[in-house]
Amino acid sequence: MELSSKWLILELLLFSHGVADFVLQSNKMIENKVTRRWTTYISHFFIVWGLSVLFLYPFISWQAGGVLLGLAFTHLVIDWIGYHLTPPHKIDSNPLGFVLDQLSHLIFILLAWQWLCHFSHLSSSGFYSEIMTPARIEKLTSVMVVGNVYLYVVFGGAIFIGKAMRSLPQEVRKYEITGMGRYIGILERTIILTFILYQAVTGIAFVLMAKSLTRYQELNNKSFAEYYLIGTLWSTALALIGGLFFYLCK
């Protein structure tokens, strides 16, 4: 297998995981996992496996399908262990647990990737081998890198920041912003990350200023100002880390 195809497979594995965990896993599913409902674990298992097969379809074979099935199973086991070891009242306020959970998934994704690279190949029908030339594979890999940066920073970041903010002391946490505040954070990270990728970092000041104007009166409250500042700094930091990762991968 060509080197460009190997990197594309890794990006596709990461993307399918991010969509399954950050986009398609609802709060209701998480609540059901906390209460040990196996039907939810099983449905999430099929979502993880189905997405990985869908995104890696051009490289799929019976052996590769088996590896992806094993990867989905390890995903289920990691989730079960994480929810089993974490007290139910700490699930929503445990950012470290979220990071460790994602690192565990990443380790097995890398192991599956190494295994797949030994026997994965383009479709034997010749269709994909004709349209997925090395140049197109390289271009698609670059697109997937950008897509993964946005996916993990914007949507994965929303989950992490939510848990981090709920772990704050009660006098600060009582100002928790829900509903539209979450969508504002998603838009904020999307815009800041876009400015960074286009090397227009001065535009970040405009985003932060516009956000502050909407909360101008409430910033007179010290506890709210602290809550607001922590959330904004987390959001900006994740966007900066995502931008740095992108330039390191170029």
User: Using one digit for the tens of pLDDT, what is the confidence trace for 16-27?
Assistant: 999 999 999 998
Give residue 46's pLDDT: 97
pLDDT band at 119 (very low <50, low <70, confident <90, very high): low
> Is the pLDDT assigned to residue 182 strictly greater than 60?
yes
> Is the pLDDT assigned to residue 57 strictly greater than 70?
yes
pLDDT band at 58 (very low <50, low <70, confident <90, very high): confident
This prediction has a pTM of: 0.90
Q: What are the tens digits of pLDDT across the range 85-115?
A: 888 888 888 999 999 999 999 999 999 999 9
Other CB atoms closer than 10 Å to residue 68's CB: what's the count? Answer: 23
Q: What are the tens digits of pLDDT across the range 219-250?
A: 777 777 888 888 899 999 999 999 999 988 76
Other CB atoms closer than 10 Å to residue 138's CB: what's the count? Answer: 15
> How far is it, in rounded angstroms, from Cα 117 to Cα 3?
9
Inter-axis angle of helices 222-249 and 203-214, nearest 10: 160
